[in-house]
Structure 1
Amino acid sequence: MSDLPLATDLAGIFLEDVPLIDLRAPIEFKEGAFPTATSLPLMTDEERAQVGTCYKQQGQAAAIELGHQLVGGAVRAERLEGWLAQIAAQPDALLYCFRGGLRSQTVQQWLHEAGVTRPRVAGGYKELRRFLIDTQDKAAAECHWSVLTGMTGSGKTHLLGQVAQAIDLEGHAHHRGSSFGQLPGGQPSNIDFENRLAIEILKRRHLGELRFVLEDESRLIGRCCLPLSLFDAMTQAPLVVVEVPQAERAEQIREDYVHDLWLRYRDLHGQEAGWPLFADYLIGALARLKRRLGDQGHRELDILMQSALAEQALNGSTQAHLSWITLLLTRYYDPMYLYQLGNKRDRIVFRGDKQACLDYFAAQNLA
């Protein structure tokens, strides 16, 4: 078994999008994996739990013996067929388990006996994950970061879509980064979020990029938490402030957080099932701000939102939503943003409208 090949070029695995076969239990895969990984576990969650209990009570030899009993005969043959089929579809696939130990060694040997020899990743998932964490931390320290900020609804994400050196944090988190920012379909696990972000940075640094622009975010984007090293770099980075009139911002919010969001719910769940989910989501997002808005303020906004939803349900128009959006900006988001920006004013290096900001990024060789 020790003579079978090991894959040790961790950077190459991610730079070349090498297919991976994840042999860990399904619960481990769900907690976090890698974009090119396919879950084909050696053991089910229940089988892994039984082996773990046996290991604690009777030691390694007994646990290994139990593992072979649980994954033997027809079960082994069925799982071997799955691994062989995956390798037939992806001949350059690599194997990994948690530490590159017994599980991946066992599967590697079984495959070898079946006439197929594939490398297993040295150090397994743990080493791959450590590599990406180190990649992220090193980039946070070595790269030059700029942050685009602006009042809620300024279209910062859309603006950064026109900046070549931008990294879309909200895209990786599948969340728009506010109380109303949750998107249907849910968010990735935090580990998956961090891994995808680190892989993008690794690839772009490999191409020679050292300067990046990010959108101003709190450390939490929904339930995805930014790596501390990157967030620390963001809190010290120079700020570019995009200035957009409130009416234009309200329209942008209506487009993104009402019209586009409704289409996403409809496409995912269908017209009939999607509508109550969409309406309940908007109402719930506003309710989460009740403590800050106060009972009367929340009630007034809720009445406006319910009326706008009723009109939308009747004729499909989302224009009435502008009433509660504008009021929410005036009473909550704009004052909060101005207060926060005041605490960061010493970091501001440029401010202007959207085109002026794009011109600034171009002059800085970031666009």
Structure 2
Amino acid sequence: MAAHPEPPKHRKHRKPRQRSLNGSAAGRTAAGFVLAGAATATVLGGAGHAEPRLSPTQIRTEVDRLHREAEEATERYNGAKEQADKARSSLDALRDEAARRTERLAATRNALGSVATAQYRHRGLDPALQLALSTDPDAYLEGAALAERAGTRQADAIAAVRRELAGIAQLRAESGGHLRELEARQAELRRHKATVQQKLAAAERLLGRLSVPERARYENPGAGTGAGPGAGTGPTAGNPPPAGARQAPNARAAQAVSYAYGALGKPYVWGATGPSAFDCSGLTQAAWRSAGVALPRTTYTQINAGQRVPRSALAPGDLVFFYSGISHVGLYIGGGKMIHAPRPGAPVRIAPIDEMPWAGATRVA
């Protein structure tokens, strides 16, 4: 049935009709949301939106930025991994000690058990022994004063049980703290790893937009100039050591320089410390480790591992650092040059120290 029109007298009580979303004001608002969403999707590389056209120079600049950010995240990853390894080692040591104490406790209890058996056969079980042999440590500790009523030998054994129980409880508490620290460091590792992978994937996508010759020039800018990965030869049998090693101030620095020369051409792999691949701080750590010197793992800790030296006083073997966040390090070899692991896709190579923003230098030995 068709609806009857509303009587005119009631129309004055009707509320003003809301504008439809198809109306001009609402339509403009909705259109604004659509445009904003489209802009966001474009920034985030969303599907269906063309990537902005960038010149090769702009691509190289953006890739450099992404690699720097990836390297900063790599150094944070390295630091978290170092702390996680320490927490794991401490946890393992505490667990080993708790196992040893548990074995001693079992041996002491077994000895007391033999005494208890003999006492029970003759005159019943001593109350102190009952407490010592109890599987409830709290009940024993509360009543440990009863040990005074046992003989001297038994009292000493009971006191040893008490010490072992207290020691094991303390070790378990400490282990719990180290376990929580380890779990926190592992979560931190996962976060930094994800950041590194995201930055490197974005850089690789951009590099894919370069032509083959442009990409080759980016990845090996020193080709044909003596600054690339072939601009030095590692010391081998029958060959003299490199000049940087001969000019080093001491034997340990000379060994570090020689090791770095031997690493020329090996790939950059973030988080790697050799011998087949390196990241920047992994290379310097490995070079000095070959000389018997233990450097910390990260750039921001290595810079404090020795005596600061001005740029004008550099000597072969010194650590040279770059960028305001101290996110990159190389090994100085003399002549204004260093050996360093630059970034993914760029193997260990010789480079001038003025190709990156200077941050400082440290003399290890």
- TM-score normalised to the size of structure 1? 0.23
